[in-house]
């Protein structure tokens, strides 16, 4: 198995791990804390900010990898999955701040 497929699989699994938090964040925003289980404290904003910045650095790293060896394209998985994750984390941050 080529290493790039492992990278794509790792990206898919770690990126999809944000989906439950996005759903929870959206429910908190939508229902405006009407339920006891829908508390803003359920989301760690400092964690979200740090992971957002870290993923932006991963995207930059993937770009650098592709510049050094453009024929290999090892950075494509890094760029793809971290871009999707940055979008997901951005949604969580926005949904949390709208409440």
Q: Over range 27-55, report the average pLDDT.
A: 70
| CA dist 89 → 6, 26, 64, 95 (Å) | 23, 12, 23, 10
Q: Over range 45-55, report the average pLDDT.
A: 80
Residue 3 has pLDDT above 70, yes or no: no
Is residue 30 in some structural domain? yes
Cβ proximity of 7 and 77 under 8 Å = yes
For the chain, the residue count is 99
- 80-97 pLDDT, tens digit per residue, is 888 988 898 888 888 877
Residue 28 has pLDDT above 70, yes or no: yes
| pLDDT of res. 35 | 54
| pLDDT of res. 87 | 92
Q: Which two tokens stand for residue 61?
A: 């790293």
Indicate which CATH number applies to the domain containing 83.
Answer: 1.20.1280
Is residue 39 in some structural domain? yes
| pLDDT of res. 14 | 78
Is residue 87 in some structural domain? yes
Is residue 6 in some structural domain? no
Cβ proximity of 43 and 98 under 8 Å = no
pTM: 0.65
Range of the domain at 83: 17-97
Which phi-psi region, left, alpha or beta, contains residue 70 (left: φ > 0; alpha: ψ -120 to 50)? alpha
């Amino acid at each position: 198995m080529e290493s790039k497929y492992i990278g794509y699989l790792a990206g898919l699994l770690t990126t999809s791990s944000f989906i439950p938090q996005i759903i929870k964040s959206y429910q908190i925003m939508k229902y405006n804390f009407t339920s006891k289980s829908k508390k803003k404290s359920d989301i760690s904003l400092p964690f979200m900010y740090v992971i957002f910045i870290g993923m932006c650095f991963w995207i930059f790293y993937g770009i650098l990898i592709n510049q050094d060896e453009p024929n290999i394209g090892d950075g494509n998985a890094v760029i793809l999955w971290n871009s999707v994750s940055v979008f997901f984390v951005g949604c969580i941050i926005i949904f949390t701040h709208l409440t």
